[in-house]
């Protein structure tokens, strides 16, 4: 009986095994493979014919790229109408006829967005049914290819062809195209940020190695290690550390694809460099991360807000720190929600440069732009979660537009609005009612009177503000300084502490911690000069902090010569005549005539910042001097002048 059961069990197992072998297994249907139309990986065009000269005789390969590398393509080659040395090259690529066999046509493209002269077209029955252009807005040069796709389900089974047209004759008018494929679905967004940030860091180091003019780099002003530094993008004091983010092109000392560069200070005196905080999200239509702000969330994370720019209207995006040191960030893909204005209208046109602040438990966000009438204005929103924003009102409208980089904060019992208008930075002070968004302006003025050497452009631009642990707001702006070696461009002003006079006039003064960088210097309690000049031969410096009082007496004019050459033939002259200051070729009227004045003058390699009468007037300008021009001279003309409480200190470096 036992043997009989054993035979039955063996027969059952054999039949089961046979059934497993013979029965087909059930699996998910396979996704149809992509069909390549063109991958541009050969030395000549395959499947396409070239017309004109713009695209050359074949694809461009990575080894042939210029100083700003092309990124985002697949493999080694791509089609490019960027003919180096030929500014007005035009031409086209025409594909062979193919049959549409998948629901989508996906491709990578870059270059200028100008559909009238630069286009990628799908033709069916010789009619254009789909059309795209590049991914860069006017005035920008984007060297990254991003995904595009066409939904072609309506044309399945029909013959078609593709044209890539470049009829643009401008130097930055070109197209980059790669990896044209027919696919079952649209392309998947690529998270390129880690690779882009790593590549940007390497490019910055390579560019820095080319910089040999070390003696001209500022030592107590923030500068990029290399590349272009635009306006400060955001500043914040977070978990005991001060962070400054800035617009940065890591590939060249000129505007280009814009990252957020990042520096930080633990002690408020010395700074350290960090990897880029943000890189453009090319596959999401973003080529530039412009100005914004940063706040510490209730959960302790650092939250960034910024203007996302691409070949589309400006959008407000955000990102959140992913590490305790706040050096890495992840962009939140869900868009911020902004409620509309009265009657459903958008409050401003091209809202940009969000500045976020908090009143008690409510978050507020202010943005610049222009109203429907074309005047510059700022709009105010409120939120409880930093994601959904409800429109409150338009607290301020200017005579001109648009307004950029607004700041709004309380100071000494009143409110201060700082904003950029046609590159000049202005301010307004007054009372603010948060419920009605009414801002009653009591006083207004220009933040900095300094211009470029040409006098046609303001030197101090688009500041950002943060509040350190002592609760006193600090302001830092861009000084548009260019290096002779063309390895870097842009300087950040020294941090300026802020206060208000009773009439609402905004005062600015160098942050107190700057004094910790002073080295041993020179002090003169009082010096009378009558129709004379006096050289200060006991000290020489190319970067220094100088303060003094100056009384004209019966002198017609008196002042200083800074960064003086040995023979006195070259110097930066700061003169005073009771009515105005003269800084080289710029004349700056004083707010109030007086025979006496106090000056605080900060000179670094390439820049000068002058604070007059405790900061009621500030003048920032470029300063050009040779490395060996390190002398000083006091002078008076037309009578006797008195120099008092003069302190002159060479400065040490802010970098650790």
pLDDT, tens digit (0-9, with 9 covering 90-100), for 488-544? 889 999 999 999 999 999 999 999 999 999 999 999 999 999 999 999 999 999 999
546 lies in the same domain as 448: no
Q: Cα 311 from chain centroid?
A: 17
Q: Model confidence over 174-222: pLDDT tens digits?
A: 999 999 999 999 888 777 888 889 888 988 888 888 776 677 889 999 9
Which of 265-274, 291-300, 339-348 shows the lowest mean pLDDT across its residues?
A: 339-348
Q: Which of residues 481, 515, 549 is at a domain's end?
A: 515
pLDDT of residue 6 exceeding 50, the answer is no
| Res 4: pLDDT | 42
> Can you spell out the DSSP letters for 420-457?
EETTEEEEEEEEEETTTTEEEEEEEEES---B-TTSSS
> Could you tell me the strand order of the sheet in which 403-411 lies?
403-411, 414-421, 424-433, 438-446
Element (H, E) at 344: none
Residue 505 counted as domain residue: yes
2 found inside a domain: no
pLDDT tens-place string over residues 588-634: 999 999 999 999 999 999 999 999 999 999 999 999 899 999 999 99
Q: Please tell me the pTM assigned to this model.
A: 0.83
When divided into structural domains, the chain yields a total of 3
Strand 91-95 versus strand 48-52 pairing type: antiparallel
In a shared domain, residues 235 and 360: yes
Q: What was the pLDDT predicted at 5? A: 42
Q: Are the C-beta atoms of residues 165 and 118 closer than 8 Å to each other?
A: yes
Helix then strand then coil, in percent of the chain rounded to 5, is 10, 50, 40
pLDDT band at 485 (very low <50, low <70, confident <90, very high): low
DSSP letter for 2, please.
H
In a domain, 216, yes or no: yes
> What's the confidence (pLDDT) of residue 368?
95
467 with 551, same domain: the answer is no
Same domain as 533, residue 502:
no
> What are the two backbone dihedrals, phi and then psi, of residue 141, each rounded to the nearest 5 degrees?
-120, 105
The answer to whether 172 and 141 have CB atoms below 8 angstroms apart is yes
Asked if residue 656 belongs to a domain, the reply is no
Q: Show the tokens assigned to 54.
A: 């713009």
The answer as to whether 26 is a domain residue is no
What's residue 332's pLDDT?
82
Domain match, 255 and 136 both:
no
Phi-psi region of 139 (alpha: psi -120 to 50; beta: other; left: phi over 0): left
Q: Domain holding 425: CATH number?
A: 2.115.10.20
Say whether both 233 and 348 belong to one domain. Answer: yes
Place of tokens 């700022």: 378
List b or e across 467-480, with b for residues whose CB sees 16 or more CB atoms inside 10 angstroms: ebeeeebbbbbbbb
Say yes or no: 75 and 210 in one domain.
no
Residue 402 contacts residue 369 (beta carbons within 8 Å): yes
Separation in Å, CA 347 to CA 355, 377, 389, 432: 16, 9, 13, 19
Beta-bridge partners for 541: none
| Placement of tokens 């046509």 in the chain | 105
Tokens representing 359?
């009143």
Residue 625 belongs to a domain with what CATH number? 2.60.120.560
Read off the pLDDT of residues 216-239 as tens digits, 9 standing for 90 and up.
889 999 999 999 999 999 999 999
Do 511 and 528 belong together in one domain?
no
What residues make up the domain containing 617?
518-650
CA distance 485 to 227: 11
Q: Is residue 14 part of a domain?
A: no
Given a contact cutoff of 8 angstroms between Cβ atoms, the answer to whether 235 and 464 are in contact is yes
* DSSP summary character for residue 196: H
- Per-residue pLDDT at 342: 65
- Residue pLDDT, tens place only, 9-30: 344 434 343 344 444 444 555 6
Q: Where a domain ends, among 183, 208, 230?
A: 183
Whether residues 289 and 415 share a domain: the answer is yes
- Pairwise CA distance, residues 474 & 457, whole Å: 24
Asked, for residue 8, whether it belongs to a domain, the answer is: no
CATH of the domain at 130: 2.60.120.200
Strand locations in 217-361 (E): 227-238, 241-249, 259-265, 272-278, 288-296, 302-310, 312-321, 329-331, 337-338, 349-359
Domain boundary among 133, 157, 183: 183
CB proximity list for 24: less than 8 A, separation 6 or greater: none
Asked if 210 contacts 227 with a C-beta cutoff of 8 angstroms, the reply is: no
Does residue 342 share a domain with residue 378?
yes
Same domain, 390 and 492: yes
In a domain, 490, yes or no: yes
Q: Are 222 and 243 within one domain?
A: yes
Q: Which H, E and C letters describe 462-495, residue by residue?
A: EEEEECCCCCCCEEEEEEEEECCCCCEEEEECCC
Is residue 454 predicted with pLDDT exceeding 90? no
Q: Which residue has the tokens 């940065």?
A: 248
């Amino acid at each position: 009986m036992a043997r009989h059961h054993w035979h039955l069990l063996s027969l059952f197992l054999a039949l089961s095994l046979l059934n497993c072998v013979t029965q087909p297994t059930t699996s998910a249907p396979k996704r149809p493979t992509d069909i390549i139309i063109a991958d541009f990986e050969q030395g000549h065009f395959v499947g396409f014919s070239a017309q004109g000269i713009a695209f050359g005789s074949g694809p461009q390969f990575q080894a042939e790229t210029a100083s700003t590398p092309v990124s985002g393509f697949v493999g080694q080659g791509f089609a490019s109408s960027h003919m180096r040395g030929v500014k007005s090259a035009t031409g086209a690529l025409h594909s062979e006829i193919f049959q549409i066999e998948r629901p989508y046509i996906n491709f990578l493209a870059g270059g200028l967005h100008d559909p009238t002269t630069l286009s990628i077209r799908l033709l069916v029955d010789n009619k254009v049914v789909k059309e795209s252009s590049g991914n860069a807005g006017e005035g920008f040069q984007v060297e990254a290819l991003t995904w595009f796709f066409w939904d072609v389900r309506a044309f399945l089974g029909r013959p078609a062809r593709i044209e890539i047209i470049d009829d643009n004759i401008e130097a930055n008018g070109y197209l980059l195209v790669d990896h044209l494929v027919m696919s079952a679905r649209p392309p998947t967004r690529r998270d390129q940020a880690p690779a882009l940030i790593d590549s940007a860091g390497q490019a910055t180091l390579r560019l820095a190695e080319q910089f040999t003019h070390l003696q001209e780099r500022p030592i107590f002003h923030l500068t990029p290690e290399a590349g272009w530094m635009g306006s400060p993008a955001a500043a914040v004091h977070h978990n005991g550390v001060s962070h400054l983010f800035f617009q940065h092109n890591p590939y060249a000392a000129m505007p280009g694809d814009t990252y957020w560069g990042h520096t930080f200070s633990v002690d408020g005196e010395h700074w350290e460099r960090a990897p880029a905080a943000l890189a453009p999200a090319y596959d999401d239509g973003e080529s530039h991360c412009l100005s914004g702000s940063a706040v510490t969330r209730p959960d302790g994370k650092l939250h960034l807000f910024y203007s996302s720019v691409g070949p589309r209207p400006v959008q407000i995006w955000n990102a959140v720190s992913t590490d305790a040191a706040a050096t890495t960030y992840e962009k939140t893909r869900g868009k911020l929600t902004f409620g509309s204005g009265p009657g459903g209208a958008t409050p401003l046109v091209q809202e940009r440069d969000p500045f976020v602040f908090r009143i008690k438990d409510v978050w507020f966000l202010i943005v610049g732009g222009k109203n429907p009438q074309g005047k510059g204005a700022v709009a105010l929103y409120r939120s409880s979660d930093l994601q959904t924003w409800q429109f409150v009102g338009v607290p301020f409208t200017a005579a001109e537009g648009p307004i950029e980089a607004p700041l709004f904060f309380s100071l000494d019992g009143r409110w201060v609005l700082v904003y950029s208008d046609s590159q000049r930075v202005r301010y307004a002070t007054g009372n603010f009612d948060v419920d009605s968004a009414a801002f009653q302006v009591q006083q207004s003025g220009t933040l900095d009177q300094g211009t470029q050497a040409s006098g046609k452009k303001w030197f101090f631009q688009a500041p950002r503000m943060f509040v350190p642990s002592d609760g006193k707001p600090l302001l830092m702006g861009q000084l548009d300084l260019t290096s002779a070696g063309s390895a870097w461009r842009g300087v950040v002003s020294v941090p300026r502490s802020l206060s208000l006079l009773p009439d609402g006039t905004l005062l600015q003064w160098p942050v107190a911690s700057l004094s910790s960088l002073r080295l041993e210097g020179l002090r003169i309690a009082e010096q009378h000069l009558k129709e004379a000049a006096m050289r200060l031969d006991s000290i020489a410096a190319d970067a220094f902090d100088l303060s003094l009082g100056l009384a004209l007496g019966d002198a017609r004019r008196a002042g200083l010569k800074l960064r003086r050459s040995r023979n006195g033939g070259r110097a930066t002259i700061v003169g005073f005549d009771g009515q105005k200051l003269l800084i080289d070729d710029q004349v700056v009227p004083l707010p109030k005539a007086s025979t006496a004045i106090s000056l605080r003058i900060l000179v670094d390699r390439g820049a000068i910042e002058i604070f007059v009468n405790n900061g009621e007037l500030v003048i920032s300008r470029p300063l050009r001097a040779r490395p060996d021009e390190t002398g000083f001279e006091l002078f008076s003309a037309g009578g006797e002048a008195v120099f008092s409480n003069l302190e002159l200190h060479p400065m040490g470096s802010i970098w650790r």
